[in-house]
Structure 1
Amino acid sequence: MKEESLSRATKRVKAQRITTEGFHYYGQVIFPREDGKPYDHNDAQLLLQDGIPRFYIMHLENRGLNFDRITRHLKCTQCLGSLNGKEWFMGVAAPGNFLDPIAKPELDGIMVFQIPGDCFIKLNVGTWHAGPFFESEAVDFYNLELSDTNITDHHTCDLVETYGVEFEILP
């Protein structure tokens, strides 16, 4: 039996330099602060109460700048940041319907942010995300999520199957 191949178009998206204001629909950008500063709204507003938090360093190689899948987590926030000051990219889209575990992101709502290596991001619960992506051969990232996020709270939309499109990031 012959397998059908899905036709796909490539949507090129210019990455926007991340700012606190531009990213606020999707999460927070956390920049360095003075030591001893009291906790406030500029600190990562974490939701990790539904399990055991997991903080680890993930090693990623040869990610390139194309993606055809986007994922969301409905039970927790997630924090990501690169080590060694490496710049990287993240595709995001608004959460949409939290009550529908098979909801899909709005295709025209997917955008890409360019993230410098001197900050990290906190993704809001339900924010669709694809990445991290980068142009270096390899980059290490720290990641804070729940210990079982990738097993019990990993909702992925195949963009080729759903919309017939893959994304190419333009730095």
Structure 2
Amino acid sequence: MTISKIRQQIQAELITTENFQAYGQVISASQDGKGFDYRDAQLVLDKGTPRFYIMRLQKRGKKFHTITRHIQCTQCLGALAGKDWLIAVCPSNNQVNEPELAKMKAFKIPGNCFIKLNVGTWHAGPYFNHDVVDFYNLELSDTNVTDHFTHNFLNSHQIEFEIV
């Protein structure tokens, strides 16, 4: 017996400080010399060695069926070369091992800012329509080894998502 999957579309909304607040922060350019305040990325990187690197992603499209979270650190992502991109997120809910489908949202992120994901925020992406996008990524050096929890919606709900 074959179980068919359902494709569910998620409408991406343009990211703003207000609509992304439950998931993290939107960080935009500020004047040089400005003092540190709440508009700066509020980082949690004290449980290991921070790692800042550039990852090259190719032809990601806009479909996904897995979502990941990190419960030891925040994560910052931003595209180089001013390219726009997409991400799907669910708020942190560290008491359970599954994201809340009703709270999943997708955002379009312009290439002139970056995002900081709160500790535990579920995220799928980055996704984009470009051939190649280089992203900078700030997390811990072992995040993808020791702090990488993934939920598979095909296994749990027979759902694949598409960001539109």
When normalised by structure 1's length, the TM-score is 0.93
Q: Tell me the equivalent position of 1:116.
A: 110
The runs of 5 or more residues in structure 1 that have no matched partner are: none
One-letter code aligned to 1:56 = Y
Deviation at 1:99, TM superposition (A): 4.2
Aligned residue pair count = 164
One-letter code aligned to 2:74 = T
Deviation at 1:7, TM superposition (A): 2.4
Q: Does residue 20 of structure 2 align to residue 26 of structure 1?
A: no
Q: Does residue 155 of structure 2 align to residue 161 of structure 1?
A: yes
For 2:43 and 2:91, how far apart are their aligned partners in 1? 18
Q: Tell me the equivalent position of 1:148.
A: 142
Deviation at 1:5, TM superposition (A): 5.1
User: Secondary structure in 1 aligned to 2:156?
Assistant: helix
Query: Retained in 2: the 8 A contact 1:82–1:88?
Result: yes
One-letter code aligned to 1:78 = Q
User: Secondary structure in 2 aligned to 1:79?
Assistant: strand
User: Secondary structure in 1 aligned to 2:144?
Assistant: helix
Q: Tell me the equivalent position of 1:53.
A: 50
Query: Retained in 2: the 8 A contact 1:107–1:163?
Result: no
User: Secondary structure in 2 aligned to 1:22?
Assistant: coil
Q: Tell me the equivalent position of 1:80.
A: 77
Deviation at 1:28, TM superposition (A): 0.1
For 2:106 and 2:54, how far apart are their aligned partners in 1? 23
Q: Structure 2 vs 1, CA of residues 122 and 5 (structure 1 numbering), >3 Å: closer, same or farther? A: farther
For 1:25 and 1:115, how far apart are their aligned partners in 2? 16
Pairing partner for 1:106 from 97, 100, 104? 100
Deviation at 1:153, TM superposition (A): 0.2
Query: Retained in 2: the 8 A contact 1:6–1:161?
Result: no
The runs of 5 or more residues in structure 2 that have no matched partner are: none
User: Secondary structure in 1 aligned to 2:48?
Assistant: coil
User: Secondary structure in 1 aligned to 2:155?
Assistant: helix
For 1:49 and 1:91, how far apart are their aligned partners in 2? 26
The alignment's C-alpha RMSD in Å is 1.0
Q: Structure 2 vs 1, CA of residues 57 and 8 (structure 1 numbering), >3 Å: closer, same or farther? A: same
Pairing partner for 2:63 from 59, 63, 66? 66
